[in-house]
Structure 1
Amino acid sequence: MLTGAYVARPSPLHRIPAGPKLAALAGGCTALLLVRTLPGVVVGLAAVVVLYAVGRIRPVEAWVQVRPLRWFMAVLLVVQLLITDVGTAVSLTSRIVLAVALAGLVTLTTRTTDLMAAMERGLGPLRRVGVDPVRVSLMMSLLIRSVPVVTGIAQRVRDAQRARGQERSIRAFAVPLVVGVLRYADTLGEALQARGMDD
Protein backbone atom coordinates (compact mmCIF):
# COMPACT_ATOMS: atom_id res chain seq x y z
CA MET A 1 0.00 0.00 0.00
CA LEU A 2 2.92 2.31 0.62
CA THR A 3 4.57 2.08 -2.78
CA GLY A 4 1.64 2.50 -5.10
CA ALA A 5 0.38 5.53 -7.02
CA TYR A 6 -3.14 5.62 -8.40
CA VAL A 7 -3.43 4.45 -12.00
CA ALA A 8 -6.67 5.47 -13.71
CA ARG A 9 -8.09 2.47 -15.58
CA PRO A 10 -11.61 1.21 -16.36
CA SER A 11 -11.57 -1.96 -14.27
CA PRO A 12 -13.93 -3.64 -11.79
CA LEU A 13 -11.45 -3.04 -8.96
CA HIS A 14 -11.32 0.68 -9.68
CA ARG A 15 -15.10 0.87 -9.31
CA ILE A 16 -15.15 -0.69 -5.84
CA PRO A 17 -15.36 1.96 -3.06
CA ALA A 18 -12.32 2.51 -0.85
CA GLY A 19 -13.98 1.25 2.34
CA PRO A 20 -14.75 -2.28 1.11
CA LYS A 21 -11.30 -2.47 -0.47
CA LEU A 22 -9.60 -1.61 2.82
CA ALA A 23 -11.75 -4.19 4.60
CA ALA A 24 -10.87 -6.79 1.96
CA LEU A 25 -7.19 -5.89 2.30
CA ALA A 26 -7.34 -6.45 6.05
CA GLY A 27 -9.05 -9.80 5.47
CA GLY A 28 -6.54 -10.83 2.82
CA CYS A 29 -3.54 -9.99 4.98
CA THR A 30 -5.09 -11.88 7.89
CA ALA A 31 -5.60 -14.90 5.65
CA LEU A 32 -1.94 -14.71 4.57
CA LEU A 33 -0.87 -14.72 8.22
CA LEU A 34 -2.77 -17.98 8.72
CA VAL A 35 -1.11 -19.70 5.75
CA ARG A 36 1.57 -22.12 6.87
CA THR A 37 2.21 -24.33 3.83
CA LEU A 38 3.79 -23.77 0.43
CA PRO A 39 0.63 -24.92 -1.43
CA GLY A 40 -1.27 -22.24 0.48
CA VAL A 41 1.31 -19.65 -0.58
CA VAL A 42 0.92 -20.77 -4.20
CA VAL A 43 -2.85 -20.30 -3.93
CA GLY A 44 -2.26 -16.84 -2.46
CA LEU A 45 0.11 -15.98 -5.31
CA ALA A 46 -2.44 -17.12 -7.89
CA ALA A 47 -5.12 -14.99 -6.22
CA VAL A 48 -2.88 -11.90 -6.24
CA VAL A 49 -2.00 -12.43 -9.92
CA VAL A 50 -5.69 -12.76 -10.81
CA LEU A 51 -6.56 -9.59 -8.87
CA TYR A 52 -3.84 -7.61 -10.64
CA ALA A 53 -5.17 -8.88 -13.96
CA VAL A 54 -8.74 -7.88 -13.02
CA GLY A 55 -7.44 -4.44 -12.04
CA ARG A 56 -5.69 -4.16 -15.43
CA ILE A 57 -2.35 -3.47 -13.76
CA ARG A 58 0.63 -4.06 -16.02
CA PRO A 59 3.45 -6.40 -14.89
CA VAL A 60 5.95 -3.54 -14.67
CA GLU A 61 3.55 -1.60 -12.43
CA ALA A 62 3.09 -4.68 -10.24
CA TRP A 63 6.86 -5.16 -9.98
CA VAL A 64 7.29 -1.57 -8.74
CA GLN A 65 5.13 -2.45 -5.72
CA VAL A 66 7.48 -5.15 -4.40
CA ARG A 67 10.82 -4.07 -5.88
CA PRO A 68 11.87 -2.02 -2.80
CA LEU A 69 11.59 -5.20 -0.71
CA ARG A 70 13.99 -7.31 -2.74
CA TRP A 71 17.12 -6.82 -0.62
CA PHE A 72 15.26 -6.92 2.67
CA MET A 73 13.53 -10.12 1.61
CA ALA A 74 16.83 -11.66 0.52
CA VAL A 75 18.37 -10.97 3.93
CA LEU A 76 15.25 -12.19 5.72
CA LEU A 77 15.24 -15.38 3.69
CA VAL A 78 18.88 -16.10 4.55
CA VAL A 79 18.23 -15.49 8.25
CA GLN A 80 15.19 -17.74 8.19
CA LEU A 81 17.15 -20.48 6.43
CA LEU A 82 19.67 -20.38 9.27
CA ILE A 83 17.05 -20.89 11.97
CA THR A 84 14.32 -22.93 10.32
CA ASP A 85 13.59 -25.23 7.39
CA VAL A 86 13.39 -24.21 3.74
CA GLY A 87 9.62 -24.51 3.48
CA THR A 88 8.98 -22.23 6.45
CA ALA A 89 11.55 -19.68 5.29
CA VAL A 90 10.11 -19.46 1.78
CA SER A 91 6.56 -19.36 3.13
CA LEU A 92 7.28 -16.47 5.49
CA THR A 93 9.09 -14.28 2.98
CA SER A 94 6.54 -15.03 0.26
CA ARG A 95 3.63 -14.09 2.49
CA ILE A 96 5.21 -10.73 3.30
CA VAL A 97 5.73 -9.99 -0.39
CA LEU A 98 2.14 -10.99 -1.20
CA ALA A 99 0.77 -8.77 1.58
CA VAL A 100 2.73 -5.81 0.22
CA ALA A 101 1.53 -6.62 -3.29
CA LEU A 102 -2.08 -6.62 -2.10
CA ALA A 103 -1.60 -3.28 -0.38
CA GLY A 104 0.00 -1.92 -3.53
CA LEU A 105 -2.96 -3.10 -5.58
CA VAL A 106 -5.32 -1.12 -3.34
CA THR A 107 -3.33 2.09 -3.79
CA LEU A 108 -2.99 1.50 -7.55
CA THR A 109 -6.76 1.18 -7.96
CA THR A 110 -7.92 3.76 -5.39
CA ARG A 111 -7.30 7.49 -5.18
CA THR A 112 -5.41 8.53 -2.05
CA THR A 113 -8.13 11.04 -1.17
CA ASP A 114 -10.74 8.25 -1.25
CA LEU A 115 -8.57 6.04 0.96
CA MET A 116 -8.09 8.81 3.49
CA ALA A 117 -11.80 9.66 3.50
CA ALA A 118 -12.67 6.01 4.12
CA MET A 119 -10.13 5.85 6.93
CA GLU A 120 -11.58 8.96 8.54
CA ARG A 121 -15.05 7.43 8.46
CA GLY A 122 -13.78 4.16 9.88
CA LEU A 123 -11.95 5.89 12.72
CA GLY A 124 -14.89 8.19 13.49
CA PRO A 125 -16.08 6.21 16.56
CA LEU A 126 -12.64 6.59 18.14
CA ARG A 127 -13.24 10.31 18.64
CA ARG A 128 -14.82 9.34 21.95
CA VAL A 129 -11.43 8.17 23.25
CA GLY A 130 -9.50 11.19 21.98
CA VAL A 131 -8.38 9.97 18.56
CA ASP A 132 -8.54 12.60 15.81
CA PRO A 133 -9.43 10.73 12.58
CA VAL A 134 -8.39 13.69 10.43
CA ARG A 135 -4.88 13.73 11.87
CA VAL A 136 -4.52 9.97 11.61
CA SER A 137 -5.69 10.14 8.02
CA LEU A 138 -3.20 12.94 7.29
CA MET A 139 -0.40 10.92 8.86
CA MET A 140 -1.20 7.90 6.69
CA SER A 141 -1.43 10.10 3.61
CA LEU A 142 2.01 11.57 4.32
CA LEU A 143 3.39 8.09 4.92
CA ILE A 144 2.06 6.82 1.59
CA ARG A 145 3.43 9.82 -0.26
CA SER A 146 6.81 9.67 1.52
CA VAL A 147 7.68 6.10 0.57
CA PRO A 148 8.29 6.89 -3.14
CA VAL A 149 10.34 9.93 -2.09
CA VAL A 150 12.56 7.89 0.23
CA THR A 151 12.89 5.20 -2.44
CA GLY A 152 14.01 7.86 -4.90
CA ILE A 153 16.58 9.18 -2.42
CA ALA A 154 17.92 5.66 -1.92
CA GLN A 155 18.18 5.14 -5.68
CA ARG A 156 20.11 8.40 -6.15
CA VAL A 157 22.50 7.44 -3.36
CA ARG A 158 23.00 4.01 -4.93
CA ASP A 159 23.71 5.60 -8.32
CA ALA A 160 26.27 7.93 -6.71
CA GLN A 161 27.90 4.91 -5.05
CA ARG A 162 28.29 3.18 -8.39
CA ALA A 163 29.77 6.32 -9.94
CA ARG A 164 32.41 6.38 -7.18
CA GLY A 165 33.06 2.64 -7.30
CA GLN A 166 31.85 2.15 -3.70
CA GLU A 167 29.01 -0.30 -4.30
CA ARG A 168 30.01 -2.51 -1.36
CA SER A 169 30.42 0.25 1.22
CA ILE A 170 27.54 0.22 3.70
CA ARG A 171 28.67 3.53 5.17
CA ALA A 172 28.76 5.21 1.74
CA PHE A 173 25.12 4.22 1.33
CA ALA A 174 23.73 4.66 4.85
CA VAL A 175 25.11 8.11 5.70
CA PRO A 176 23.88 9.98 2.58
CA LEU A 177 20.56 8.14 2.79
CA VAL A 178 19.99 9.20 6.40
CA VAL A 179 21.02 12.78 5.62
CA GLY A 180 18.69 12.90 2.62
CA VAL A 181 15.75 11.49 4.58
CA LEU A 182 16.35 13.94 7.45
CA ARG A 183 16.41 16.85 5.02
CA TYR A 184 13.15 15.69 3.51
CA ALA A 185 11.64 15.34 7.01
CA ASP A 186 12.74 18.89 7.88
CA THR A 187 11.16 20.24 4.71
CA LEU A 188 7.95 18.35 5.40
CA GLY A 189 7.90 19.57 9.01
CA GLU A 190 8.33 23.19 7.92
CA ALA A 191 5.47 22.82 5.44
CA LEU A 192 3.19 21.41 8.14
CA GLN A 193 4.23 24.17 10.57
CA ALA A 194 3.45 26.82 7.97
CA ARG A 195 -0.08 25.37 7.76
CA GLY A 196 -0.57 25.52 11.53
CA MET A 197 -0.28 21.75 12.07
CA ASP A 198 2.79 21.77 14.32
CA ASP A 199 0.99 20.86 17.56
Structure 2
Amino acid sequence: MTVGLYLPGGSWLHRTPAGPKLLGLLLAITGVLLTSVPAGIAAELAVTAALYPAARVPWRILWQHTRVLLPFLVLVAGFQLLTAGWERAVVIGGQLLVSVLLAGLVTVTTRVSAMLALFEKLARPLDRVGVSSQRIALTLALTMRCIPMVAQAWQASSDAYRARGLRRGSWRVVVPVIVRLLRSAESLGDAITARGVDDDGVRRG
Protein backbone atom coordinates (compact mmCIF):
# COMPACT_ATOMS: atom_id res chain seq x y z
CA MET A 1 0.00 0.00 0.00
CA THR A 2 1.52 3.30 -1.08
CA VAL A 3 -1.09 5.88 -0.16
CA GLY A 4 0.47 9.31 0.20
CA LEU A 5 3.73 8.48 -1.68
CA TYR A 6 5.04 10.19 -4.81
CA LEU A 7 4.30 8.38 -8.07
CA PRO A 8 6.80 9.29 -10.82
CA GLY A 9 5.31 10.49 -14.07
CA GLY A 10 5.48 13.07 -16.84
CA SER A 11 1.92 14.41 -16.91
CA TRP A 12 1.00 18.09 -16.90
CA LEU A 13 0.26 17.88 -13.19
CA HIS A 14 3.63 16.28 -12.45
CA ARG A 15 5.31 19.15 -14.33
CA THR A 16 3.37 21.86 -12.49
CA PRO A 17 5.56 23.53 -9.80
CA ALA A 18 4.70 22.83 -6.17
CA GLY A 19 3.73 26.44 -5.42
CA PRO A 20 0.97 26.86 -8.03
CA LYS A 21 -0.16 23.30 -7.39
CA LEU A 22 -0.63 23.82 -3.65
CA LEU A 23 -2.29 27.20 -4.25
CA GLY A 24 -4.68 25.52 -6.67
CA LEU A 25 -5.37 22.83 -4.08
CA LEU A 26 -6.17 25.49 -1.47
CA LEU A 27 -8.56 27.29 -3.81
CA ALA A 28 -10.19 24.05 -4.94
CA ILE A 29 -10.80 22.83 -1.39
CA THR A 30 -12.15 26.26 -0.45
CA GLY A 31 -14.62 25.99 -3.30
CA VAL A 32 -15.61 22.48 -2.20
CA LEU A 33 -16.23 23.65 1.36
CA LEU A 34 -18.45 26.46 0.08
CA THR A 35 -20.62 24.01 -1.88
CA SER A 36 -23.87 23.37 -0.06
CA VAL A 37 -25.98 21.24 -2.43
CA PRO A 38 -25.64 17.52 -3.28
CA ALA A 39 -25.66 18.20 -7.04
CA GLY A 40 -22.67 20.50 -6.70
CA ILE A 41 -20.78 17.95 -4.62
CA ALA A 42 -21.54 15.23 -7.19
CA ALA A 43 -20.17 17.42 -9.98
CA GLU A 44 -17.00 18.19 -8.00
CA LEU A 45 -16.50 14.51 -7.22
CA ALA A 46 -16.84 13.62 -10.92
CA VAL A 47 -14.30 16.28 -11.92
CA THR A 48 -11.89 15.13 -9.19
CA ALA A 49 -12.17 11.50 -10.28
CA ALA A 50 -11.52 12.54 -13.90
CA LEU A 51 -8.35 14.39 -12.86
CA TYR A 52 -6.66 11.11 -11.86
CA PRO A 53 -6.55 9.57 -15.37
CA ALA A 54 -5.96 13.05 -16.84
CA ALA A 55 -2.80 13.22 -14.72
CA ARG A 56 -1.91 9.64 -15.71
CA VAL A 57 -2.44 8.39 -12.17
CA PRO A 58 -3.76 4.78 -12.09
CA TRP A 59 -7.31 4.16 -10.96
CA ARG A 60 -5.96 1.92 -8.18
CA ILE A 61 -4.48 5.02 -6.51
CA LEU A 62 -7.90 6.68 -6.58
CA TRP A 63 -9.40 3.56 -4.97
CA GLN A 64 -6.64 3.39 -2.35
CA HIS A 65 -7.29 6.98 -1.29
CA THR A 66 -11.03 6.28 -1.13
CA ARG A 67 -10.69 2.96 0.71
CA VAL A 68 -8.55 4.42 3.48
CA LEU A 69 -11.20 7.07 4.13
CA LEU A 70 -14.28 4.83 3.93
CA PRO A 71 -14.66 3.85 7.64
CA PHE A 72 -14.40 7.46 8.79
CA LEU A 73 -16.60 8.61 5.92
CA VAL A 74 -19.35 6.16 6.91
CA LEU A 75 -19.27 7.41 10.51
CA VAL A 76 -19.42 11.09 9.54
CA ALA A 77 -22.14 10.64 6.92
CA GLY A 78 -24.14 8.36 9.22
CA PHE A 79 -24.06 10.90 12.03
CA GLN A 80 -25.16 13.67 9.67
CA LEU A 81 -27.91 11.45 8.29
CA LEU A 82 -29.33 10.91 11.77
CA THR A 83 -29.02 14.51 12.92
CA ALA A 84 -29.40 16.70 9.84
CA GLY A 85 -30.91 14.64 7.01
CA TRP A 86 -29.63 12.95 3.86
CA GLU A 87 -28.76 16.13 1.96
CA ARG A 88 -26.45 17.33 4.72
CA ALA A 89 -24.94 13.85 4.95
CA VAL A 90 -24.18 13.84 1.22
CA VAL A 91 -22.70 17.34 1.34
CA ILE A 92 -20.47 16.76 4.39
CA GLY A 93 -19.38 13.29 3.28
CA GLY A 94 -18.77 14.53 -0.26
CA GLN A 95 -16.75 17.51 0.90
CA LEU A 96 -14.54 15.25 2.96
CA LEU A 97 -14.08 12.74 0.14
CA VAL A 98 -13.35 15.33 -2.57
CA SER A 99 -10.88 17.19 -0.32
CA VAL A 100 -8.96 14.02 0.50
CA LEU A 101 -8.90 12.90 -3.14
CA LEU A 102 -7.62 16.30 -4.28
CA ALA A 103 -4.92 16.34 -1.60
CA GLY A 104 -3.97 12.77 -2.49
CA LEU A 105 -3.66 13.67 -6.17
CA VAL A 106 -1.33 16.55 -5.34
CA THR A 107 0.73 14.29 -3.08
CA VAL A 108 1.28 11.53 -5.62
CA THR A 109 2.22 14.02 -8.36
CA THR A 110 4.57 16.21 -6.30
CA ARG A 111 8.02 15.22 -5.11
CA VAL A 112 8.51 15.53 -1.37
CA SER A 113 11.70 17.50 -2.00
CA ALA A 114 9.73 20.08 -4.00
CA MET A 115 7.16 20.44 -1.23
CA LEU A 116 9.83 20.79 1.43
CA ALA A 117 11.72 23.40 -0.59
CA LEU A 118 8.50 25.40 -0.88
CA PHE A 119 7.65 25.06 2.81
CA GLU A 120 11.18 26.06 3.82
CA LYS A 121 10.99 29.10 1.55
CA LEU A 122 7.64 30.14 3.03
CA ALA A 123 8.96 29.65 6.57
CA ARG A 124 12.23 31.51 5.95
CA PRO A 125 10.99 34.81 7.46
CA LEU A 126 10.65 32.94 10.78
CA ASP A 127 14.46 32.67 10.91
CA ARG A 128 14.47 36.32 11.96
CA VAL A 129 12.64 35.49 15.19
CA GLY A 130 14.76 32.45 16.01
CA VAL A 131 12.59 29.72 14.43
CA SER A 132 14.58 27.47 12.10
CA SER A 133 12.94 27.12 8.68
CA GLN A 134 15.13 24.03 8.11
CA ARG A 135 13.74 22.46 11.26
CA ILE A 136 10.19 23.13 10.05
CA ALA A 137 11.02 21.48 6.73
CA LEU A 138 12.50 18.48 8.53
CA THR A 139 9.40 18.15 10.72
CA LEU A 140 7.17 18.25 7.66
CA ALA A 141 9.37 15.66 5.94
CA LEU A 142 9.07 13.28 8.88
CA THR A 143 5.32 13.84 9.12
CA MET A 144 4.75 13.18 5.43
CA ARG A 145 6.86 10.04 5.61
CA CYS A 146 5.31 8.66 8.79
CA ILE A 147 1.66 8.97 7.74
CA PRO A 148 1.95 6.40 4.93
CA MET A 149 4.38 4.40 7.09
CA VAL A 150 1.59 3.73 9.60
CA ALA A 151 -0.72 2.52 6.83
CA GLN A 152 2.02 0.30 5.41
CA ALA A 153 2.79 -1.21 8.82
CA TRP A 154 -0.89 -1.93 9.44
CA GLN A 155 -1.33 -3.52 6.01
CA ALA A 156 1.84 -5.64 6.38
CA SER A 157 0.80 -6.90 9.84
CA SER A 158 -2.72 -7.70 8.63
CA ASP A 159 -1.37 -9.61 5.63
CA ALA A 160 1.03 -11.57 7.83
CA TYR A 161 -1.78 -12.38 10.24
CA ARG A 162 -4.01 -13.72 7.47
CA ALA A 163 -1.12 -15.63 5.88
CA ARG A 164 -0.93 -17.74 9.04
CA GLY A 165 -4.50 -18.84 8.45
CA LEU A 166 -5.85 -16.87 11.38
CA ARG A 167 -9.07 -14.95 11.38
CA ARG A 168 -8.65 -11.25 10.93
CA GLY A 169 -8.87 -9.33 14.19
CA SER A 170 -7.95 -5.66 14.11
CA TRP A 171 -6.98 -5.50 17.76
CA ARG A 172 -4.55 -8.41 17.37
CA VAL A 173 -2.34 -6.53 14.91
CA VAL A 174 -1.87 -3.50 17.17
CA VAL A 175 1.24 -4.87 18.91
CA PRO A 176 2.99 -5.96 15.66
CA VAL A 177 2.22 -2.56 14.17
CA ILE A 178 3.72 -0.77 17.17
CA VAL A 179 6.84 -2.97 16.98
CA ARG A 180 7.22 -2.22 13.26
CA LEU A 181 6.83 1.50 13.83
CA LEU A 182 9.36 1.51 16.67
CA ARG A 183 11.90 -0.28 14.49
CA SER A 184 11.23 2.15 11.64
CA ALA A 185 11.60 5.12 13.99
CA GLU A 186 14.92 3.76 15.25
CA SER A 187 16.19 3.31 11.69
CA LEU A 188 14.98 6.79 10.76
CA GLY A 189 16.77 8.29 13.75
CA ASP A 190 19.99 6.50 12.83
CA ALA A 191 19.69 7.78 9.25
CA ILE A 192 19.19 11.36 10.44
CA THR A 193 22.21 11.11 12.75
CA ALA A 194 24.32 9.58 9.98
CA ARG A 195 23.55 12.56 7.75
CA GLY A 196 24.86 15.00 10.34
CA VAL A 197 21.63 16.67 11.43
CA ASP A 198 21.85 18.20 14.89
CA ASP A 199 19.15 18.57 17.54
CA ASP A 200 17.91 21.81 15.95
CA GLY A 201 17.16 20.07 12.69
CA VAL A 202 20.08 21.78 10.94
CA ARG A 203 22.69 19.93 8.93
CA ARG A 204 26.21 20.25 10.33
CA GLY A 205 29.19 21.02 8.17
Asked if the contact 1:6–1:112 (Cα under 8 Å) also holds between the matched residues in 2, the reply is: no
TM-score under structure 1 length normalisation: 0.83
Give the distance between the partners of 1:81 and 1:174, measured in 2 at CA.
31
Cα distance between partner residues in 2 of 1:33 and 1:155: 31
Give the fraction of aligned pairs with identical amino acids, expressed as a percent. 35
Residue of structure 1 in register with 2:9 after alignment: 8
Alignment of 1:165 with 2:166, yes or no, is yes
Q: Which residue of the partner structure matches residue 203 of structure 2?
A: none
- Is there any run of 5+ residues in structure 1 with no aligned partner, and where? none
CA-CA distance at 1:197 after TM superposition: 3.2
2: distance between equivalents of 1:171 and 1:92?
29
Q: TM-score, length-normalised on structure 2?
A: 0.81
Question: In 2 relative to 1, CA 37–59 (structure 1 residues): closer, same or farther, beyond 3 Å?
Answer: same
- Aligned partner of 2:114 in structure 1 is 114
CA pair 175-90 structure 1, distance change in 2 beyond 3 A: farther
SS of 1:8's partner is coil
**1:35 lines up with 2:35 in the alignment:** yes
1:176 and 2:173 aligned: no
CA distance in 1, matches of 2:53, 2:165: 41
Query: In the alignment, is the contact (CA less than 8 A) between 1:3 and 1:148 conserved in 2?
Result: yes
Q: Measured at CA, do residues 36 and 123 of structure 1 come closer, stay the same or move farther in structure 2, by a change above 3 Å?
A: same
Residue correspondences, number: 196
Q: CA RMSD in A?
A: 2.3
| Deviation, structure 1 residue 22 | 1.0
Instruction: Give the Cα–Cα distance (whole angstroms) in 1 for the partners of residues 121 and 35 of structure 2.
Output: 31
Any conservation in 1 of the 2:42–2:94 contact (CA below 8 Å)? no
State the shift of 1:24 in Å: 0.9
For 2:51, the equivalent position in structure 1 comes to: 51
Pick 1 or 2: higher relative contact order, CA cutoff 8 A, min separation 6: 1
The equivalent residue for 1:61 is 61
- 2:75 is matched with 75
Correspondence for 1:146: 146
CA distance in structure 2 between the aligned counterparts of 1:129 and 1:99, rounded to whole angstroms: 34
Separation in 1, partners of 2:105, 2:91 = 21
Contact 2:53 2:59 in 1 (8 A): no
Partners of 2:23 and 2:131 lie apart in 1 by 20
Task: Single out whichever of 172-181 and 133-142 deviates more from structure 2.
Answer: 172-181
Question: Which segment drifts farther, 79-88 or 95-104?
Answer: 79-88
Change (3 A) 1:39 1:17: same
Letter aligned with residue 196 of structure 1:
V
